[in-house]
């Protein structure tokens, strides 16, 4: 084995709530985990403001602060947390191989994939401005909807997620304007029916978000373009929710790991096991339904326990 190859018992790829929880459990079980944080250390939560729905924080906590705490907790038990991106893997042999930043080679007895998913955005300059400021653009109604209680908001998208988020927002907000870019929904009939039947949801078909309006700090409205007539109208809203889907960060695993058609990793139901022995998955990389920090943390715990049991069984 060349000097540049490092052998580890447990390699954790990704550093959101799933990865850090896996790290905490794996460290405490003496697996000496090495974590590579990936492109966005801390994961999606570092792009949100207040996290009010993670149990144990009665006053809430900011997303970035929570990730700092999770990292400190993982390090306290000895996790080796490293900057770096896993750019390639090879899961064909009994030892799982991974390359960091196309250079360093790691051989791992077990791998926990916790690379998460990235919310898709429209790419409008105004959308990105208010997203980064935390001033009124969000890709997570369950995380941020509460801040818009009693206010008017809009939501972009017509899939199951958009319908679910629109219903959630309608419970909190005075009015929800839903922008559907075609003249039909992508969502299942039942989800579509649900939003159609909610009184304070107005559905605008053939409609796209043209520009998010605001005073530089917070959102005050939006320009909407009808893509049939090219007419542009303005509405007053204080929040714009983008629900046009997520992309799981699973591309590098594709040659080895079985994925669903939508790119999410297939786990053996009720476990974190993938189709490759010794490779486990946790968090949003395998979850297109719940997508919550607390569910990610739960599956991170499962992955570490599954990894520990896998290694113990091998030693028997
Ligand atoms: P989807 O890919 O199903 O839907 C994305 C929606 O966003 C589509 O309506 C699409 O429009 C729209 N969209 C995409 N790009 C743009 C754009 N640039 N401008 C405007 N609109 C745009 O993603 P979801 O996150 O909704 O769902 C992902 C998967 O998860 C699906 O399989 C879904 O069924 C599943 N899911 C299931 C749930 C459940 O069962 N409870 C809950 C949530 C998700 P268009 O239709 O025109 O392409």
Residue owning the nearest CA to atom 15 of ligand 1: 244
Give the total number of structural domains in the chain: 2
Nearest-atom index, ligand 1, CA of 163: 26
**Most ligand 1 atoms within 8 A of CB, residue of 141, 157, 291 to mutate:** 157
Residue owning the nearest CA to atom 21 of ligand 1: 157
Distance between Cα 195 and ligand 1 center (Å):
14
Q: How many C-beta atoms surround the C-beta of residue 182 within 10 A? A: 11
**Most ligand 1 atoms within 8 A of CB, residue of 122, 159, 241 to mutate:** 159
Distance between Cα 243 and ligand 1 center (Å):
7
Among 219, 242, 265, where does a domain finish? 242
195 and 233 both lie in a single domain: yes
245 φψ region: left (φ > 0), alpha (ψ -120 to 50), beta (else): left
Answer for the pair 157, 243: CB distance below 8 angstroms, yes or no: yes
111 and 252 both lie in a single domain: yes
Instruction: In whole angstroms, give the CA distance from residue 112 to residue 199.
Output: 44
Instruction: In whole angstroms, give the CA distance from residue 213 to residue 240.
Output: 10
Answer for the pair 19, 12: CB distance below 8 angstroms, yes or no: yes
168 and 90 both lie in a single domain: no
| Strand positions, DSSP E, the chain | 5-13, 34-36, 50-51, 61-62, 80-82, 86-90, 96-100, 104-113, 117-119, 137-138, 152-156, 175-179, 201-204, 207-214, 219-226, 232-236, 239-242, 246-248, 279-281
Answer for the pair 155, 177: CB distance below 8 angstroms, yes or no: yes
Distance between Cα 182 and ligand 1 center (Å):
12
From first to last of its 316 residues, what are the pLDDT tens digits of the chain? 445 799 999 999 999 999 999 999 999 999 999 999 998 888 878 766 678 889 999 999 988 899 999 999 999 999 999 999 999 999 999 999 999 999 999 999 999 999 999 999 999 999 999 998 879 999 989 888 999 999 999 999 999 889 999 999 999 999 999 999 999 999 999 999 999 999 999 999 999 999 999 999 999 999 999 999 999 999 999 999 999 999 999 999 999 999 999 999 999 999 999 999 999 999 999 999 898 899 999 999 999 999 999 999 998 7
Nearest-atom index, ligand 1, CA of 122: 18
106 and 125 both lie in a single domain: no
Residue owning the nearest CA to atom 33 of ligand 1: 160
Among 218, 242, 266, where does a domain finish? 242
Q: How many C-beta atoms surround the C-beta of residue 93 within 10 A? A: 8
Among 193, 208, 242, where does a domain finish? 242
Question: Range of 273's domain?
Answer: 5-118+246-315
193 and 212 both lie in a single domain: yes
218 and 290 both lie in a single domain: no
Nearest-atom index, ligand 1, CA of 188: 34
Distance between Cα 177 and ligand 1 center (Å):
17
**At 42, which CATH number?**
3.50.50.60
| Cα-trace Rg, the chain | 21
Distance between Cα 155 and ligand 1 center (Å):
12
Distance between Cα 157 and ligand 1 center (Å):
7
131 and 237 both lie in a single domain: yes
140 and 250 both lie in a single domain: no
List the catalytic residues: 140, 143-144
**Most ligand 1 atoms within 8 A of CB, residue of 245, 261, 263 to mutate:** 245
234 and 128 both lie in a single domain: yes
Residue 115 confidence (pLDDT): 97
Protein residues whose CB sits closer than 6 Å to any atom of ligand 1: 122, 156-162, 164, 181-182, 186, 208, 244-246, 262, 288-289
146 and 195 both lie in a single domain: yes
89 and 125 both lie in a single domain: no
| pTM, rounded to two decimals | 0.80
195 and 86 both lie in a single domain: no
Q: What is the DSSP string of 146-168?
A: GGGTTSEEEEE--SHHHHHHHHH
């Amino acid at each position: 084995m060349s000097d540049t190859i490092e052998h580890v018992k447990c390699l954790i790829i990704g550093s959101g709530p799933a990865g850090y929880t896996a790290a905490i459990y794996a460290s405490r079980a003496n697996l000496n985990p090495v974590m590579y944080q990936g492109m966005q250390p801390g994961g999606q939560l570092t792009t949100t403001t207040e996290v009010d729905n993670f149990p144990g924080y009665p006053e809430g906590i900011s997303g970035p602060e929570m990730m700092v705490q999770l990292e400190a907790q993982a390090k306290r038990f000895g996790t080796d947390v490293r900057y770096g991106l896993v750019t390639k893997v090879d899961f064909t042999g009994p030892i799982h191989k991974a390359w960091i930043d196309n250079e360093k080679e790691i051989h791992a007895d077990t791998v926990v994939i916790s690379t998460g998913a990235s919310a898709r955005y429209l790419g409008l300059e105004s959308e990105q401005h208010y997203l980064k400021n935390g001033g009124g653009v969000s890709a997570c109604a369950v995380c941020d909807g509460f801040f818009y209680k009693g206010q008017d908001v809009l939501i972009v998208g017509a899939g199951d997620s958009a319908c679910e988020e629109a219903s959630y927002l309608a419970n909190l907000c005075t009015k929800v304007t839903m922008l559907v870019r075609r003249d039909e929904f992508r969502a299942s009939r039942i989800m579509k029916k649900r939003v159609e039947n909610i009184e304070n949801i107005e559905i605008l078909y053939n409609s796209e978000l043209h520009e998010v309006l605001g005073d530089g700090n917070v959102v005050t409205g939006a320009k909407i373009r009808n893509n049939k007539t090219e007419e542009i109208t303005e509405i007053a809203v204080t929040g714009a929710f983008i629900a046009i889907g997520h992309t799981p960060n699973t591309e590098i695993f594709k040659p080895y790991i079985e994925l669903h058609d939508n790119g999410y990793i297939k786990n053996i139901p009720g476990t974190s096991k993938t189709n490759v022995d010794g490779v486990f998955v946790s968090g949003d990389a395998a979850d297109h339904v719940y997508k919550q920090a607390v569910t990610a943390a739960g599956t991170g715990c499962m992955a570490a326990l599954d990894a520990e049991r896998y290694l113990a069984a091998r030693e028997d």
